[in-house]
Amino acid sequence: MIRQIRKSLVWYIFVTPTFVLFGLFVVYPTLETFRLSFFREVATRQEFVGALHYLRLLTNQIFLAALINTAVLGAAFLTLIIPLSLILASLLNNLRVWPNLFKIIYFLPQITSTVAVALIFSYAFQPNWGLINGALHALGVETLPLWLADPRPGLTGSRAAVTLLAVWVGLGYYMLLFISGLQAIPAELYDAAVVDGAGPLQTWWYITLPSLRPTFIFLILTGTIDAMSRFSDLWMLGGPGGTPARSLQTIVMFIYQAAFENNDFNLASAAAVAFFVIVLALTLINFRAFLQQEFAGR
State pLDDT tens for residues 124-153. Answer: 999 888 999 999 999 998 888 999 999 988
8 A C-beta contact, residue 170 and residue 110: yes
Phi, psi of 206 (to 5 degrees): -100, -15
CATH number listed for the domain at residues 59-296:
1.10.3720.10
CA-wise closest residue to 249 among 130, 121, 162, 171? 162
Calpha distance 77→227 (Å, rounded): 7
Calpha distance 202→289 (Å, rounded): 25
Beta bridge partners of 39: 48
pTM of the model: 0.88
8 A C-beta contact, residue 172 and residue 106: yes
In the 3-class helix/strand/coil scheme, how is 206-275 assigned residue by residue?
Answer: HHHHHHCHHHHHHHHHHHHHHHHCCCHHHHHHHCCCCCCCCCCCCHHHHHHHHHHHCCCHHHHHHHHHHH
Q: Where are the domains of the chain?
A: 2-36, 59-296
pLDDT tens digits for the chain (298 residues)? 777 777 778 888 888 999 999 999 999 999 999 999 999 988 778 899 999 999 999 999 999 999 999 999 999 999 999 999 999 998 898 888 888 898 899 999 999 998 899 999 999 999 888 999 999 999 998 888 999 999 988 888 999 999 999 999 999 999 999 999 999 999 898 889 888 888 888 888 889 999 998 899 899 989 999 999 999 999 999 888 888 899 999 999 999 999 999 999 999 999 999 999 999 998 888 877 776 665 555 5
State pLDDT tens for residues 52-89. Answer: 999 999 999 999 999 999 999 999 999 999 999 999 99
8 A C-beta contact, residue 93 and residue 179: yes
The three-state secondary structure class of 40 is: strand
